[in-house]
Structure 1
Amino acid sequence: MTSTASPQSILDKPYVLDLFAGPGGLDVAGHVLDIPSLGIEWDKSACLTRYAAGLDTLHADVSAVRRDAFESLPPEINVLAGGPPCQTYSVAGKGAGRQALDEVKKYIERLTAGDSDKAVDKDLSNLSDPRTAMVLEPLRYAIQATRSPNRDGRPYDVIVLEQVPAVIALWEHYATVLKETGLPDGTKYDVAVGVLSTETFGVPQTRSRAVLIARRAGLGLPSLPRATHRTYEAKAWNRQSEQDTDQARQPTLDEEPQVADDSDLLPWRSMGDALEDSVGAHPGRATPFLVRSNYGSSGIPGRRGVRTDRQPATTVTGRISRFVVFEHLDENIVREGARFSMNEAGMLQSFPPDYPWSGTAQAQQVGNAVPPVFGTHLLSAALGLPTPDADVLRKPWQAATESQQAKLRNHGCGASDACTDRCPRPETQSPPRSTTPPTIGGPRRPAALVSRRSSSL
């Protein structure tokens, strides 16, 4: 599986260290760009998925590797990437991170001023949620690289970070400090920061991410990736749908509402475009269909959004397995159909078909991942590579053989068939699960369909 991009880069041999690597979104992006990567991931099931996918992995805690095993990392790594845990910053969380933004900014300043790890760790222990401090790990890795005998103190050349939009204030502070103060050894970076929408890069879902791309001073000014697809505008879609209802006709695929001044861009990808055709083990999903999600509903059924197969999916989260799919049989009959399989959920995240989701909590793995197509654009922009091909990840993924998985697992866990004492403890592997089962609606028509029957399908 290769990209149409040229192998030329601002670096002779880019090699990515992917912190908080999850099931492999950014590593899959690196794979199709022919860029090697090593991912560090603490969740056992996500590691099982990574091994099955053939991705080089360390089953370990990011902080523990930095403290105790940094010198064991390949010294040729020159690109640092990561998406720290977002629960405390996400609008879906309790907001501990958002409340601690100013405090975390002070830790950024202390670290770049050269404060000792011991002193910083002691004070970080006072944070109400320890996951909030994870957003500092990329900076701490960057500093550690300059102190590493194994690297001869050589800093990372490129840094690529992504998180939920609420973290943009921290990325902006990162940028200011990296440009003006630099790391304790004096290394400075040129930085680009912004919030990007994944559907504008060909991902078949609407998802916003705060992004930071940094290059070591002297390697050229970085820029954020340029959109290749049009922005999905919900209001424009709704206006067009209402107009179509008045005219008693259905829009064709060529008539999807788009932003008028984006005519040089490709149309955003819809769920139907991603799932309709048979590919690999995916049998194809009959269209038209509708999806009722509970994302952003706060558990209130009346707030659940409904989208058709002609629209991008709502943000894919760990709740993707709860999304209710309705099949439209004719203009009067809508019935509840099969919910999204993990293969389909992954495809809505832009993972290739047949990606080998493994272990437990697979929906959570899908929801937590970096959309791989988005990742190809981030890495390409960071390294000065050409814009990736729009269809670069639409071919089925070739899973690793048993012998390849055994080799990867031996490297990642210390044994070819099991975890070892060096792996994180099993009780820390998964977030606590809800004891309340999800409410599953019956096969009735969502209220939102009644007034838009002819225009939405």
Structure 2
Amino acid sequence: MISPGTEVRQLDGVRILDLFAGPGGLDVAAHFLGFKSIGIEWDRNACETRYAAGLPTIHADVSVMRETRFDEIPRSVDILTGGPPCQSFSVAGNGAGRRALDTVKKFIHRLVDGEDEAKIDEELHALDDPRTALVLEPLRWLLKAIETEGRAPYRMIVLEQVPAVRPLWDVYAELLQSGVGRLKGFKYEADCWELKTEQFGVPQTRKRAVLVARLPEHGAVEPLETTHLPFDLHRGKHNAVQADMLPTDSEAPEPKQCWLSMAEALDAASGLEDSSVDVSRLRTRGELKFFVVSNYGSGGDPKNRGERLSSEPAFTVTGKISRNKIYTNDAAYAADRYDRFTIPEAGVLQTFPHNFPWSGNDQAQQVGNAVPPRLGMHVLSRALRGDAPSEEELAAARTWPSVPRATADELRGIGCGDQSQCPPESHKVTRPRSTSAP
């Protein structure tokens, strides 16, 4: 396992390039599997978290890096990962991406067919939500690698997004398998799945569409094996044996664990050495027992706020998780005496280590935007090694190693340098108005 704080040149041995890296969900997963990564991230706050965590980072726009700074990516990189921004595809967003699915499918084909990219860019900028175009960036990075002298095509590709993007990943997979056009005969073994995070030990319900592709010498892409039972969103039945879980032949399947609850995850994290999680305020007579009222409405009714018991997985962790209300009993609910999840607690519900060094501003948004590292470990382990993460690796992922300040400063120098190539205005400091002395 590579420790972020070791005294080595920070970019030596980097194999994974993580596009739209955020605070590091996939990078954290890669670290605990023994792979070193570098991420590209445009948000300054997420970069500050990454520097503090010892994660190599370039503070830049993904598109600009591809167009003008591609040669800065270490040549040791042979794995491409990424989770393009989901706002235009998410059900919580404006829906522009979902409405444009058929149009984006055509753009994917046009890019591979070799149409003029300047013309394609012009049309992409005319979309209702320009962020929709970012879902094409992983493909454009792959094509760039294939067409750049001295570069090799990525050996493996791992992409994730909200379920609405699954049809686009299917088109990606079809083209990657074909090797046509600008792929220049490079054919990949590829497959796509819709995964439920609670089935991989993440204490929240969250669905993700995942694409895994590998060059043929690495073998066929095998589906992931779930480790936990799904959570019944309709309540009342989650402890019952469901028909689709029963064996269909004489050989009974290996029993799966029950999904992990909020209380189990937070209680375990609070018991770790020097834990950043303190849930004593949520205990009643020593028992960790509470319920959460969502910030979001359900069933199309903004006033119909969903509820989850502490004995259940959390709602999908979003950037608004700090607005969810936590009540310890019905009396507190009646009096509207509520608590909130702290940032370390929200991170644990995303399966980040309890002591992950969240930094910068908008930390709740950083947490919500991230890929759950435990899910990332299962996906990356299957893609990169053909197996599941070991119990030892999963156990180690509960605690993040200490990173010296000097390492964070060195990484900031690599990522931001003189700040001239960082996204415009990203380092602008808004100072309060001066006031005259009384």
Same fold (TM over 0.5): yes
Counterpart position of 1:433? none
Q: 1:34-91: per-residue Cα shift (whole Å, max 9, x none)?
A: 1010100000000000001110100000000000011111111111000001100111
Within 2, Cα distance between the matches of 1:296 and 1:423? 38
1:395 aligns with one of 393, 398, 404: 398
In the alignment, is residue 412 of structure 1 matched against residue 415 of structure 2? yes
Aligned match of 2:326: 325
* C-alpha displacement of 1:333: 8.8
Aligned equivalent of 2:265: 274
Shift of 1:181: 4.3
Task: State the distance in 2 between where 1:381 and 1:324 align.
Answer: 37
Q: Is the 8 A contact 1:327 1:334 kept in 2?
A: no
Quick one: distance in 1 between partners of 2:376 and 2:226?
Answer: 13
Partner of 2:170: 172
TM-score, structure 2 as length reference: 0.85
Alignment of 1:32-431 (within 5 A): 32-151=32-151, 154-182=152-180, 184=182, 185-235=184-234, 237-239=235-237, 256-257=239-240, 259=242, 261=246, 264-277=255-268, 278=270, 279=272, 280-285=275-280, 286=283, 287-297=288-298, 302-328=303-329, 336-389=337-390, 391-392=394-395, 395-415=398-418, 420-426=419-425
Counterpart residue identity of residue 424, structure 1: P
Taking structure 1 as the reference length, what is the TM-score of the superposition? 0.82
Q: Provide the C-alpha distance between the structure 1 equivalents of 2:35 and 2:372, rounded to a whole number of angstroms.
A: 17
Structure 2 counterpart SS, 1:266 = coil
Q: Is the 8 A contact 1:352 1:394 kept in 2?
A: yes
Letter of the 2:265 counterpart: A
Identity rate, percent: 47
Q: Distance in 1 between matches of 2:426 and 2:43?
A: 10
Other-structure match for 2:436: none
Query: What's the CA shift string for 1:397-421, capped at 9, x where partnerless?
Result: 2342210111000000005xxxx11
Alignment partners' CA distance in 2, 1:39 and 1:336: 41
Mapped to 2, the partners of 1:394 and 1:77 lie a distance apart of 24
Distance 1:257 1:333, change over 3 A: farther
| Maintained 8 Å contact 1:294/1:304 | yes
Paired letter, 2:124: L
Q: Secondary structure at the match of 1:210?
A: strand
The one-letter amino acid of 1:402's match is R
Does the 8 Å CA contact 1:326/1:334 hold for their aligned counterparts?
no
Contact 1:25 1:372 in 2 (8 A): yes
Q: What is the total number of aligned residue pairs between the two structures? A: 398
Q: CA deviation at 1:295?
A: 3.0
Counterparts of 1:150 and 1:310, CA distance in 2: 54
More off after superposition, 135-144 vs 294-303: 294-303
Deviations 1:386-405 (A, max 9, x none): 31145435532234221011
Secondary structure of the corresponding residue to residue 195 of structure 1? strand
Contact 1:2 1:392 in 2 (8 A): no
SS of the residue 2:264 aligns to: helix
Distance 1:57 1:332 in 2: 44
With 299-308 and 212-221 compared, the bigger mean Cα shift is at: 299-308
Contact 2:261–2:313 at 8 Å: present in 1 too? yes
Of 60-69 and 291-300, more deviation after overlay is shown by 291-300
What is the rounded CA distance, in whole Å, between the counterparts of 2:129 and 2:22 in structure 1? 20
Residue 447 (structure 1) aligns with: none
Q: Return the alpha-carbon distance in structure 2 between the equivalents of residues 385 and 132 of structure 1.
A: 32
Kindly tell me: are residues 425 and 331 of structure 1, through their superposed partners in 2, closer, same or farther at Cα, counting changes over 3 Å? Answer: closer
- Structure 1 residue 120: deviation in Å? 2.0
Residue by residue over 1:140-173, the C-alpha shift from the partner in whole angstroms, topping out at 9 and shown as x without a partner, is: 000000112242xx10011100000000110111
Offset, 1:117: 2.6
Shift in alpha-carbon separation, 1:171–1:201, aligned structure 2, 3 A = same
1:270-316 Cα offsets, whole Å, 9 max, x none, are: 00011124232222353111111123449956411111111000100
Rounded to whole Å, the distance in 2 between the matches of 1:188 and 1:338 is 52
Instruction: Describe the shift of the 1:92–1:35 C-alpha distance in structure 2 as closer, same or farther (beyond 3 A).
Output: same
Assess if the C-alpha contact under 8 Å between 1:328 and 1:335 holds in 2. Answer: no
Alpha-carbon distance change, 301 to 146 in structure 1, aligned in 2, over 3 angstroms: closer
**Structure 2 CA distance for partners of 1:344 and 1:202, relative to 1, 3 Å:** same
| In structure 2, C-alpha distance between the alignment counterparts of 1:333 and 1:43, rounded to whole Å | 40
SS of equivalent to 2:121: helix
Question: Per the alignment, in what secondary structure is the counterpart of residue 329 of structure 2?
Answer: strand
Amino acid at match of 1:358: S
SS in 2 for 1:340: coil
Cα RMSD (Å): 2.5
**Cα deviations across residues 196-244 of structure 1 (Å, max 9, x unaligned)?**
1000000000000011000113321112321011111123x3247xxxx
Give the structure 2 partner of residue 19 of structure 1: 19
Task: Say whether the 8 Å CA contact 2:21–2:40 is kept in structure 1.
Answer: yes
Instruction: State the SS of the aligned residue for 1:238.
Output: coil
Deviation at 1:426, TM superposition (A): 2.6
CA distance in 1, matches of 2:337, 2:402: 32
Instruction: For structure 2, list consecutive stretches of 5 or more residues without a partner in the other structure.
Output: 4-12, 247-252, 429-438
Name which of structure 1's ranges 356-365 and 300-309 shifts more when overlaid on structure 2: 300-309
SS in 2 for 1:51: helix
Q: Distance in 2 between matches of 1:427 and 1:191?
A: 37
| 3-state SS of 1:305 partner | strand
**How many Å separate the matches in 1 of 2:15 and 2:335?**
50
Partner of 1:453: none
